[in-house]
């Protein structure tokens, strides 16, 4: 596939201005720093198609639910990530003409996302209708070191005229969401003005009452000299700015530095927000652009030293993986346990910026391996803190006895998704939450987590599964009816193999965990019993009964786990038979046709095999892969990665590679034709897994790291860095050998291709 963006190992580069690609590029070149994010909207006015997007972590609006037919149990609202006030705005006016790339003639356009240092750079020449030309060079970053700070360096050079250049640097609170159910306004402006050379604007979200304040300092230089003349203040309703008129001649350079502090009431008292923002931005401006950038850069260096992956011999694959790692690092830093990761991160409005099962199923492994345990632990604690809400949610649906059903989509622990087939039926999310606890402990060895937080969650989850199964007289087994599995192209199915497997495994793991906490942390165990009202004898006995008698659909003669009851009744077709014009089928087929078809949106049975791989023989994995993969259309971004890992597992390196490219370049090459809506951030964790778990063959077995690598033909060398139990390791894989070096920490025993070796700390 020919890529629109230039291939470069450390950057994404767009050469030439293509208005049709503008919204896609706005997603691709997005910046973030865990606290906030910004699509790559232009600083100057742009009257062409554009999705304006400034997002602040944890700030949302409960948009009233809109459905055709209300069903009891639907949540009242769907949370929306908010497009916050526009802080990047810089208007450029010469004479009567305002710079707008939609109306000017544009040449030499170049945009670069520098992933090594975390900045966005754009340069171009614009010719106005009058024939006047300017050259613009803009750079910006969202500070990783000072997460409430963003900075812009915006340079303008007149190329063929002498005249007055007017630059207005502003904050505009008059913003809307594209995704709004009733076209409501989401923000009220609560304060705006100028103080101590700072322009500020404070807005409050309707209903949720979050407040955010944007405070800006703007400085201008002409040919390297600071322009001392005072700026004119500009104030309109919901808009504050500083305006400067500068007399310029050909080849002069005017540079505007814009520093903005973005503070929210999640971290500050609303009453002191404006004052704190003003102080914050003044201090930032004192550090100057270069000083701020140097601090930011240090953090990126650190990020890369903990998470970089090097692929030699395949620049497109190299760019793909770095793009994924970059986005993951700039979306979630793990500093705040109230935050989570939306499927689009900070790059678009779709999915409301809310938390999905994606976090547990696709992201935890990345953060576990590239950050200290605290980061993944915060993601687990996020769910722990929502346990009461999950129990309330289950009560609303008719469950009793402390059963918890976590929401499929949430901001604050409440369910906010309202399609019955997902809200009520996609209950496998409960399994992912249990599995994440297991995964965390398997990786870190911190079993005490069970006593502190994990067990309480597991008990509530197992209670849910116990209530959700029912006894079938016909089958003489427990069954789970009316669910949607990970494959959302099937609804209301009975005995989805994956869901049944997750339910059974959760009960088993809860029993083991009870045993552990009871014996190793008896005091804490007593506390948990009191808090949850747990009745050991009856509850564990009834879970054991379900475990022993759970029904699973299988096709024994072919060694297949069946996706659900009746799957084999479908007309058996292969995805390769679909005409390209009909793909993706979700954009071309009626829902009715999709539901009855054999086609699978994303890994379903294979998702289960991926989780519990050690329980199955290679032959079983292969049989199921060979059966399901050809029926899968991979129309969820979460699909290709799991298939790629399993393909590596069964020795199909080239198939694994094909699927890897699809996952790692999903957005760069826009496979699903929707990148304009935002990036697929959560699937990026899956991409990382397809390299480290797939090609690198990393597994944890009985507390030991084990590697069984298999590289695609094209790759000469693969190396990745992982954190493991207080150490940082670098794993280097070539066709000849696999080498594990300890970069930080003590020696460690690991398994490489079945052999146990002792790895020594690298000599400095």
Task: Report the C-alpha gap between 505 and 614 in whole angstroms.
Answer: 13
Binding mask 660-689 for ligand BGC (x = CB under 6 A): ----------------------x-------
The single residue among 118, 486, 686, 697 that binds ligand BGC, judged by CB under 6 A, is 486
Dihedral, 731, 725, 340, 489 alpha carbons, nearest 10:
60
358 lines the binding site for ligand BGC (CB under 6 A)? yes
Is the CB of 599 or the CB of 657 nearer to ligand BGC? 599
Task: Report the C-alpha gap between 9 and 112 in whole angstroms.
Answer: 12
Task: Report the C-alpha gap between 468 and 701 in whole angstroms.
Answer: 32
DSSP track, 360-426 = IIIIHHHHHHHS-HHHHHHHHHHHHHTHHHHHHHHHHTT--TT-----SSBSSSS-----HHHHTT-
343 lines the binding site for ligand BGC (CB under 6 A)? yes
Minimum Å gap between C-beta 664 and ligand BGC is: 17
231 lines the binding site for ligand BGC (CB under 6 A)? no
Is the CB of 456 or the CB of 488 nearer to ligand BGC? 488
638 lines the binding site for ligand BGC (CB under 6 A)? yes
**Candidates 135-143, 353-361, 531-539, 623-631 — which segment interacts with ligand BGC by CB under 6 A?**
353-361
Minimum Å gap between C-beta 271 and ligand BGC is: 37
First to last CA, the chain: 43
The single residue among 259, 304, 326, 351 that binds ligand BGC, judged by CB under 6 A, is 351
Binding mask 567-606 for ligand BGC (x = CB under 6 A): ----------------------------------xx----
- Residues making up the chain, counted from first to last: 764
Is the CB of 150 or the CB of 342 nearer to ligand BGC? 342
Is the CB of 351 or the CB of 367 nearer to ligand BGC? 351
Vertex 636 angle, CA 635 and 637, to 5°: 115
Which residue, among 484, 479, 497, has the nearest Cα to 627 in the 3D structure?
Answer: 497
User: Sign of dihedral through CA atoms 102, 104, 108, 113?
Assistant: negative
Residue 544 has which token pair?
Answer: 């054991």
Q: Do the beta carbons of residue 662 and residue 633 sit within 8 Å? A: no
Is the CB of 220 or the CB of 500 nearer to ligand BGC? 500
Q: Which residues contact 191 (CB under 8 A, 6 or more apart)?
A: 200, 201, 202, 213, 274
**Candidates 94-102, 130-138, 161-169, 351-359 — which segment interacts with ligand BGC by CB under 6 A?**
351-359
Is the CB of 54 or the CB of 484 nearer to ligand BGC? 484
- Write the burial class of residue 701 (CB in 10 Å: 0-12 exposed, 13-18 middle, 19+ buried): exposed
Minimum Å gap between C-beta 381 and ligand BGC is: 21
Phi, psi of 169 (to 5 degrees): -105, 125
Q: Which residue has the closest beta carbon to ligand BGC?
A: 343
Is the CB of 636 or the CB of 644 nearer to ligand BGC? 636
Is the CB of 117 or the CB of 492 nearer to ligand BGC? 492
Q: Do the beta carbons of residue 35 and residue 148 sit within 8 Å? A: yes
Task: Report the C-alpha gap between 167 and 44 in whole angstroms.
Answer: 10
669 alpha carbon, distance to own chain's centre: 18
Minimum Å gap between C-beta 344 and ligand BGC is: 8
Minimum Å gap between C-beta 556 and ligand BGC is: 29
**Candidates 5-13, 27-35, 349-357, 385-393 — which segment interacts with ligand BGC by CB under 6 A?**
349-357
Minimum Å gap between C-beta 694 and ligand BGC is: 19
- Residues binding ligand BGC: number (CB under 6 A): 12
Parallel, antiparallel or unpaired: strands 748-752 and 704-707: parallel
Is the CB of 17 or the CB of 78 nearer to ligand BGC? 78
Minimum Å gap between C-beta 634 and ligand BGC is: 11
645 lines the binding site for ligand BGC (CB under 6 A)? no
Task: Report the C-alpha gap between 164 and 131 in whole angstroms.
Answer: 15
**Residue 506 CA: distances (Å) to CA of 40, 424, 665:** 43, 19, 34
Which one is catalytic: 192, 414, 488, 539? 488
Q: Do the beta carbons of residue 310 and residue 718 sit within 8 Å? A: yes
Minimum Å gap between C-beta 666 and ligand BGC is: 12
Is 192 among the catalytic positions? no
Task: Report the C-alpha gap between 119 and 29 in whole angstroms.
Answer: 9
The single residue among 356, 406, 525, 688 that binds ligand BGC, judged by CB under 6 A, is 356
Binding mask 293-332 for ligand BGC (x = CB under 6 A): ----------------------------------------
Which residue, among 102, 104, 101, 94, has the nearest Cα to 122 in the 3D structure?
Answer: 101
Minimum Å gap between C-beta 486 and ligand BGC is: 6
Which residues are at the interface with ligand BGC (CB under 6 A)? 343, 351, 356-358, 486, 488, 601-602, 636, 638, 682
| Positions marked catalytic | 488
């Amino acid at each position: 596939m020919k890529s629109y963006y230039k291939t470069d190992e450390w950057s994404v580069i767009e050469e030439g201005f293509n208005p049709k690609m503008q919204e896609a590029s706005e997603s691709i070149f997005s910046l973030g720093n865990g606290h906030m994010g910004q699509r790559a909207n232009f600083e100057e006015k742009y009257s062409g198609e554009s999705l304006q997007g400034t997002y602040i972590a944890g700030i949302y609006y409960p948009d009233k639910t809109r459905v055709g037919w209300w069903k009891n149990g639907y949540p009242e609202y769907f949370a929306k990530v908010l497009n916050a006030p526009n802080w990047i705005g810089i208007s450029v006016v010469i004479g009567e003409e305002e710079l707008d790339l939609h109306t000017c003639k544009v040449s030499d356009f170049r945009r670069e996302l520098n992933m090594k240092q975390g900045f966005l750079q754009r340069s171009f020449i614009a010719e106005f209708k009058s024939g006047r030309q300017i050259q613009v060079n803009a750079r910006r970053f969202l500070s990783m070191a000072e997460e409430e700070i963003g900075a812009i360096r915006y340079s303008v050079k007149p190329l063929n005229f002498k005249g007055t250049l007017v630059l207005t640097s502003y904050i505009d609170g008059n913003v809307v969401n594209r995704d709004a159910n009733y076209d409501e306004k989401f923000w009220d402006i609560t304060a705006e003005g100028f103080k101590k050379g700072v322009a500020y604007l404070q807005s409050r979200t309707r209903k949720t009452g979050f407040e955010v304040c944007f405070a800006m300092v703007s400085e201008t230089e002409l040919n390297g000299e600071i322009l001392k003349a005072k700026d004119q203040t500009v104030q309109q309703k919901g808009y504050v700015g500083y305006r400067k008129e500068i007399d310029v001649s050909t080849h002069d350079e005017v540079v505007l530095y814009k520093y903005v502090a973005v503070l929210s009431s999640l971290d500050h008292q609303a009453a002191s927000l404006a004052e704190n923002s003003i102080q914050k931005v003044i201090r930032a401006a004192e550090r100057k652009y270069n000083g701020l950038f140097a601090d930011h850069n240090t953090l990126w260096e650190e990020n890369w030293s903990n998470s970089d992956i090097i692929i030699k011999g395949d620049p497109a694959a190299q760019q793909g993986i770095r793009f994924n790692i970059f986005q993951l690092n700039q979306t979630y830093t793990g500093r705040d346990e109230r935050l989570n990761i939306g499927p689009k991160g900070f790059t678009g409005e779709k999915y409301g910026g809310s938390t999905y099962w994606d976090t547990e199923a696709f992201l935890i492994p990345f953060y576990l391996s590239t950050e200290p345990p605290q980061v993944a632990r915060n993601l687990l604690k996020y769910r722990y803190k929502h346990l009461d809400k999950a129990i309330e949610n289950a009560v609303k649906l008719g469950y009793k006895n402390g059963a918890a059903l976590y929401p499929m989509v949430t901001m604050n622990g409440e369910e906010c998704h309202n399609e019955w087939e997902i809200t009520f039926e996609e209950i496998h999310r409960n399994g992912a939450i249990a599995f994440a606890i297991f995964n965390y402990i398997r990786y870190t060895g911190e079993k005490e987590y069970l006593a502190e937080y994990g067990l309480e969650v597991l008990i509530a989850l197992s209670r849910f599964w116990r209530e959700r199964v029912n006894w079938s007289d016909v089958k003489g087994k427990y069954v789970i009816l009316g669910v949607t599995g990970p494959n959302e192209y099937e609804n209301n199915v009975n005995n989805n193999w994956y869901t049944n497997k997750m339910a059974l495994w959760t009960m088993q793991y809860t029993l083991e965990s009870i045993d552990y906490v009871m014996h190793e942390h008896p005091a804490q165990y007593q506390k948990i019993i009191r808090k949850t009202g747990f009745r050991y004898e009856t509850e564990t006995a009834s879970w054991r009964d379900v475990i022993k008698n759970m029904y699973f659909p299988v096709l024994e003669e072919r060694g297949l786990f069946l996706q659900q009851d009746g799957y084999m009744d479908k007309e058996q077709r292969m995805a390769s038979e679909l005409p390209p014009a009909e793909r993706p089928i979700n954009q071309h087929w009626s829902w009715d046709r999709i539901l009855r078809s054999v086609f699978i949106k994303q890994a379903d049975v294979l998702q289960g095999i991926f989780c519990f791989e050690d329980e199955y023989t290679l032959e079983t994995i292969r049989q199921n892969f060979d059966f399901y993969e050809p029926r899968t259309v991979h129309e969820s971004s979460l699909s290709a990665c799991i298939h790629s890992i399993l393909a590596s597992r069964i020795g199909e390196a080239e198939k694994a590679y094909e699927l890897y490219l699809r996952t790692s370049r999903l957005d760069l090459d826009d496979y699903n034709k929707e990148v304009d809506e935002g990036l697929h951030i959560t699937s990026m964790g899956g991409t990382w897994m397809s390299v480290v778990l797939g090609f690198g063959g990393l597994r944890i077995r009985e507390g030991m790291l084990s590697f069984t690598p298999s590289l695609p033909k094209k790759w000469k060398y693969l190396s990745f860095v992982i954190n493991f139990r207080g150490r940082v390791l670098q794993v280097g894989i070539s066709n000849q050998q696999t080498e594990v070096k300890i970069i930080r920490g003590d020696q460690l025993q690991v398994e490489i291709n079945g052999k146990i070796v002792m790895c020594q700390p690298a000599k400095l």
